[in-house]
Chain A
Amino acid sequence: MLAFPKNIDQIKMRNQRIMFWIARGISYSIIAILILILFFILKRGIGVINWEFFSTMPKEGMTKGGILPAIIGTLYLVAGSMIIAFPIGMLSGIYVNEYAREGQVKRFIKLMTNNLAGVPSIVFGLFGMALFVNQLNFGASILAGSLTLALLALPLIIRTTEESLKAVDNTFRHASYALGASKLYTIRKVVVPIAFPNIITGLILGIGRVSGETAPILFTVAAYFLPRLPNSVFDQCMALPYHLYVISTSGTDIETSRPIAYGTAVVLIAIVLFVNLLANFLRNYFSRKVKMK
């Protein structure tokens, strides 16, 4: 007869427990770090947050007053870049996954997309300046900034679209073809609707990425100080991350404007969280429509 080691089941159980607690400890400490960051920023910045802070222009060399133009600027840039990047990224994702034949060209496109994702954002900034600001003569403007940020977010959106489409079971496509539907009709009516909740994840990641970037907007749109709101896409604008950078490094009086810097960080975080929540809500809405039992 086979003699199993004594207590083997207890030992297995103990090992399970140890691993479980290590894993749990690590994931909880990640939450703790996030809370710590939020607490740190909130504690220093909450003091300046009031209605005036949201709704007025900076005053006295940005040591007083609100950050309205930076908030508006960031909202414009996020919206502008996503309006450009989301449809284009989605279309290229659809092309790569649904139309491109397996082989060299497809692999090359994928490789390039991955490389593009790895390019440092300051390089995008320089490129955006050379192409959009100078070559195409848009000047430093919301248009040039949005285009530059769109390039930055593009690989993310392409890749998420691709992955989401790949996850759609082939039998859905075949069932549609079997009814005489064309490829285009199948993609529009069956494949993309099933994948859409996941495609929106790309949008969420894109928003998170562009809303916090400073380097790409540095030479393409961001104004150091602009005491009015932009009124066309050819205007410059302020932006939260750049404003934060300016008042904490090169403002007129860095020490006095410290609370405003933290207040700006609070608002930036709040906006990113809010937009993420909104996108999450959208995703849940679409996934309820296509959810499997």
Chain B
Amino acid sequence: MSYKIETRNVDLYYGDFHALKNVSMQITPKTVTALIGPSGCGKSTFLRLFNRMNDLIEGVKIKGDILIDNKDIYKIKTTEVDQLRRNTGMVFQKPNPFPKSIFENVAYGLRVNGIHDRKKIEEQVEKSLKQAALWEEVKDKLKKSAFEISGGQQQRLCIARALAVEPEVLLMDEPASALDPISTSKIEELIYELKNNFTILIVTHNMQQASRVSDFTGFFLLGDLVEFDKTKKIFTNPVKQQTENYITGRFG
């Protein structure tokens, strides 16, 4: 069977700093993969490989192959980068809706990419808000500013915004770490739903969260992918001592 995403011996440097070291990982379609590890070990950097967001940082050097649908995304034409980014939605740690209405936030990605048909946009906004489990809460105030809803709702709005352009891969960088427990569990339920249609990578600091939502887990340490396996395996019977130390909280 073929993988949705694959990295082969990837090295990444910020100038002279070696941030990812020979990382190889294979990700099955329509699964959730959790990326765990202490701060600064390269989880966000790894996530940004897949929508080429690292390209925006000056002095970044990348080696190795990074494939989505068996296509090396660093060998595509510059004009295809936007299409790649459309194909990989991203959700950030802090909810960051744009200074626009709820409706316009979700419509943003459509307008950017040349869809102007009102009817089509309305349909797509509704569909995305439903997918993000937010529709019922905001359907009567779509014209209101996105800043008027709660932080948890804002984060689901950001998810809807990412879903609106119909990506296949969803990259989530600690999407619940700035939220309260109730909003967090809503996001977790949502991730569970979304994996029916999307391939999801999620960075998290929360071990319970990783074990609850993910099918696979990768443990990073100082730029190395120490261990990558089924989540069950990682959390019950890890192969590496470092992994066990980290997930049991005996890490120092």
Which residue numbers of A lie inside 8 Å of B, CB to CB? 101-102, 169, 171-172, 174-182, 185, 189-190, 193-194, 289-293
Contact = CB atoms under 8 A, between A and B. Distances in A.
A204 to B, nearest CB: 21
Given A185-B112, A190-B98, A193-B99, A178 B162 contact: yes
Nearest to A179: B109
A198 to B, nearest CB: 13
Nearest to B94: A171
A102 B96 CA distance: 26
Contacts of B112: 176, 179-181, 185
Interface of B: 51, 53, 56, 58, 82-83, 85-86, 88-90, 92-94, 96, 98-100, 108-109, 112-113, 145, 147-148, 150-151, 158, 161-162, 165
Contact of B58 (A101, A176, A178, A179): A101
A178 B96 contact: no
B133 to A, nearest CB: 20
The winner among A102, A181, A291 for most chain B CB atoms within 10 A is A181
Nearest to A287: B99
Nearest to A178: B90
Given A291-B147, A293-B147, A293-B151, A179 B85 contact: yes
A180 B109 CA distance: 7
B99 A178 contact: no
Given A171-B96, A174-B53, A193-B99, A180 B83 contact: yes
A281 B99 CA distance: 19
A108 to B, nearest CB: 18
A291 B144 CA distance: 12
A171 B151 CA distance: 16
A177 B150 CA distance: 24
A176 B97 CA distance: 10
A172 B146 CA distance: 14
A-B residue pairs, 6 tightest by C-beta: A290-B99, A179-B109, A178-B90, A180-B82, A180-B86, A181-B112
Contacts of A101: 58
A31 B99 CA distance: 36
Contacts of A182: 82
A193 B105 CA distance: 14
Contact of B99 (A171, A175, A289, A293): A289
Contacts of B90: 174-175, 178
A229 to B, nearest CB: 42
Most buried by A among B93, B147, B162, B165: B147
Max chain B C-beta neighbours (<10 A), residue from A177, A185, A190: A177
Contacts of B150: 293
A192 B88 CA distance: 25
A174 B145 contact: no
Given A175-B96, A175-B158, A180 B53 contact: no
Given A180-B109, A180-B112, A289-B145, A174 B58 contact: no
Contacts of A190: 98-99
Contact of A179 (B94, B145, B165): B165
B148 A175 contact: no
A200 to B, nearest CB: 15
Given A178-B90, A185-B112, A102 B148 contact: no
B158 to A, nearest CB: 7
A280 B71 CA distance: 53
A291 B151 CA distance: 14
Contacts of A292: 147
10 contacts: A169-B96, A171-B92, A176-B108, A177-B53, A178-B85, A179-B109, A290-B99, A290-B147, A291-B145, A293-B147
A179 B162 contact: yes
Contacts of A174: 53, 56, 90, 92
